[in-house]
Amino acid sequence: MIDHMFGKITLSIIKPDAVQKGYVSPILYKIVHAGFHIIAIKITELSKKSATKFYAEHKKKLFFESLVKFMSSGPIVSVILKKENAVKDFRILIGETNPVHAKKGTIRNLYATSLEKNAIHGSDSNQNAIKECLFYFSNREIFF
């Protein structure tokens, strides 16, 4: 079912730093204002085990342990967003991984704290978008 949305959806996470600072509302406003449709949303928390699974591709990186600790440190908001070219357009909206390099007005430029605590996640490919959406949501929770 979700496979039909290939190329049209992306998975975003408002990370624990941004939730804790009260940025959920302004971030969601910005996303919707940029033309993305919210088709699934939940406030949730990652266990260390889930965070390890979600970021498995970074397992060998030096920052991995710290990233897992951070991502499981408090509530997050997971969102599936629908738009033509969702993955690419959303990466532009959030800005570079390191907020120091994120363009002015991007979400990371406005709301990130550091390279690690960079406020928001966006899928990096259409294939990963599908995989990540199914990591957080069941088909019953997605409203195409």
| Residues with active-site annotation | 121
CA 129 to chain centre: 10
> Taking the complex as a whole, how short is the minimal distance between the CB of residue 119 and ligand IDP, in angstroms?
9
Cβ count within 10 A of residue 143: 11
Backbone CA torsion sign across 66, 12, 97, 110: negative
Nearer to ligand IDP, 90 or 137 (CB): 90
User: Both tokens of residue 83?
Assistant: 């738009």
Task: Work out which of 46, 67, 86, 142 binds ligand IDP, going by CB under 6 A.
Answer: 67
| Binding residue count for ligand IDP, defined by CB under 6 A | 8
Instruction: Give the nearest distance from C-beta 131 to ligand IDP in angstroms.
Output: 14
Q: Which is nearer to ligand IDP, 45 or 116 (CB)?
A: 116
By CB under 6 A, is residue 12 in contact with ligand IDP? no
Q: How many residues are present in the chain?
A: 144
Q: Look at strands 37-44 and 9-14 and give their pairing.
A: unpaired
45 binds ligand IDP (CB under 6 A): no
Find residue 79's DSSP bridge partners: 12, 41
Sequence ranges of the binding site for ATP: 15, 63, 91, 97, 108, 118
Residue among 55 and 144 whose Cβ is closer to ligand IDP: 55
Token output for 137: 């949501």
